[in-house]
Amino acid sequence: MTLAAKFFGKGMVSTAGVLIGLLAGYLVALTFGMVSFARVGTGGVVCAAPALCLRL
């Protein structure tokens, strides 16, 4: 997907090939049920590592 966007796309599509590939891979994983949003609500607003989580 990324290479197709890079070599066959024009303008913005060619420039954003990596982003398009990332989004396409995410959509495939979402389709196959490999993505879980179960822990989204339990984490901190700003959390780089578990010891540094801040609740704002």
Can you tell me the mean pLDDT for 17-36? 90
Neighbour tally for 5: CB within 10 Å = 19
Going from N- to C-terminal start, the domains of the chain cover 2-52
Q: For the whole prediction, is pTM greater than 0.75?
A: no
Q: Is the pLDDT of residue 56 over 60?
A: no
**pLDDT for position 43:** 64
pLDDT (average), residues 38-53: 68
Q: Under DSSP, is residue 51 helix (H, G, I), strand (E, B) or coil? A: helix
CA angle 44, 47, 34 (to 5 degrees): 85
**25, 17 in Cβ contact below 8 A?**
no
CB 55 within 8 A of CB 47: no
pLDDT at 23 over 70: yes
Mean pLDDT score, 14-36: 89
**Residue in the structure block whose two tokens are 């979402």:** 30
